[in-house]
């Protein structure tokens, strides 16, 4: 869309240039006797050459930069936008049409400034689009996946001072269990801030076991 807009923009200015500067670049100041163009070259209209010179209408235009047709006008527009040899176009245009030189100055200044801004935003949009596409391709190739809950628990348990994750609704073992290894003197085992009594044998069993060891 941006390229189409730039092309339409240049086309409009080219049509304007063909309308106002058609065959203007072919007029030169020449010597009256020989008809040889004077040096340095001077473009003219009517009697704008001055004393000792006349304005010839059919000297021709060897340069490809002119406004005699739409193709050459588009090429001239591209050279104006690039800032490369723009004076080769502006000087003949202003000298060959002195009656509206002020309008010509505004014409060329507006072309230069506006087209440069259009080209800047066009390049910026192209770079941004390319960056977004490359980033999306990298994300797709790496296959970003959401980590499982068990993987998160393993990472958290590896941190200093970490506690086991909550297991609400876990039923304590029935009919027996193991004594709390962290606090062996305690009678209760801790599981998620809830205490469960640990099974202990009757006192008679302790006495019988002690007698067997003494024997």
Compare 163 and 122 and report the one with higher pLDDT: 122
Three-class DSSP category at 7: helix
pTM score above 0.85 = no
- Which structure tokens are listed for 80? 């104006």
Please say if the pLDDT value at position 186 is more than 50.
Answer: no
**Structural domain that includes position 79:** 2-139
Please name which of 18, 33, 32 lies closest in space to residue 44, comparing C-alpha atoms. Answer: 32
Residues 178 and 116 in one domain: no
pLDDT digits (tens, 9 = 90+) for 124-142: 877 888 888 888 888 888 7
Kindly state whether residues 133 and 181 are assigned to the same domain: no
Residue that terminates a domain, selected from 121, 139, 157: 139
Examine the domain organization and report whether 129 and 192 are in the same domain: no
Q: Is the pLDDT of residue 166 over 70?
A: no
Cβ atoms within 10 Å of 72's Cβ, excluding its own: 19
Chain-wide mean pLDDT for the chain?
Answer: 74
Q: What is the pLDDT of residues 11-59, one digit of tens each?
A: 888 998 999 898 889 999 999 888 888 888 899 988 888 888 999 988 8
Do 58 and 109 lie in one domain? The reply is: yes
pLDDT(184) > 50: no
Q: Are residues 116 and 15 in the same domain?
A: yes
Same domain for 124 and 72: yes
Alpha carbon 192 to chain centroid distance? 52
Is residue 15 in some structural domain?
Answer: yes
Q: What is the largest CA-CA distance in the chain?
A: 149
Same structural domain, 52 and 126: yes
The Cα–Cα gap between 13 and 112 comes to 11
Q: Are strands 188-191 and 194-197 parallel, antiparallel or unpaired?
A: antiparallel
Domain membership of residue 164 (yes or no) is: no
- pLDDT at residue number 118: 76
Higher pLDDT, 105 or 159: 105
Domain presence at residue 160: no
Asked if the model's pLDDT at residue 178 lies above 50, the reply is: no
d(CA 119, CA 81): 9
* Residue at which a domain ends, from 91, 123, 139: 139
Q: In this predicted structure, what is the pLDDT of residue 164?
A: 56
pLDDT range class, residue 185, cuts 50, 70, 90: very low
In a shared domain, residues 22 and 92: yes
Identify whether residues 129 and 175 lie together within a single domain: no
Extended strands (E) in 6-147: 28-30, 54-56
Residue 199 falls in which region: left (phi positive, over 0), alpha (psi -120 to 50) or beta? beta
Q: Which of the two residues, 215 and 84, has the higher pLDDT score? A: 84
Among residues of the chain, what percentage have pLDDT more than 90? 7
127 and 182 housed in the same domain: no
Residue 182 counted as domain residue: yes
Residue 203 maps to a domain:
yes
Number of structural domains found in the chain: 2
Q: What pLDDT is stored for residue 181 in this prediction?
A: 46
In this structure, is residue 66 part of a structural domain? yes
* 38 and 114 within one domain: yes
Considering the domain architecture, whether residues 25 and 124 belong to the same structural domain is answered as yes
Whether 24 and 92 have beta carbons less than 8 Å apart is answered as yes
pLDDT: is 1 or 75 the higher one?
75
């Amino acid at each position: 869309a941006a390229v189409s807009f730039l092309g339409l923009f240049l086309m409009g200015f080219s049509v304007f240039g063909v309308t106002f500067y058609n065959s203007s670049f072919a007029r030169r100041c020449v010597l009256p006797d020989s008809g040889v163009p004077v040096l340095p070259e001077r473009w003219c209209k009517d009697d704008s050459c001055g004393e000792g010179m006349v304005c010839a209408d059919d000297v021709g235009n060897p340069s490809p930069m002119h406004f005699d047709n739409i193709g050459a006008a588009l090429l001239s527009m591209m050279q104006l936008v690039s800032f490369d040899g723009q004076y080769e176009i502006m000087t003949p245009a202003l000298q060959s049409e002195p009656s509206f030189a002020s309008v010509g100055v505004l014409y060329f200044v507006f072309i230069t400034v506006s087209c440069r801004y259009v080209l800047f935003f066009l390049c910026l949009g192209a770079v941004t689009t390319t960056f977004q596409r490359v980033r999306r391709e990298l994300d797709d190739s790496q296959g970003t996946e959401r980590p499982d809950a068990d993987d998160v628990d393993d990472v958290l348990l590896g941190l200093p001072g970490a506690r086991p994750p909550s297991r609400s609704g876990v039923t304590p073992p029935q009919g027996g269990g193991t004594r709390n290894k962290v606090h062996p003197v305690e009678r209760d085992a801790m599981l998620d801030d809830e205490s469960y009594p640990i099974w202990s044998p009757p006192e008679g069993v302790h006495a019988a076991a002690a007698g067997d060891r003494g024997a």
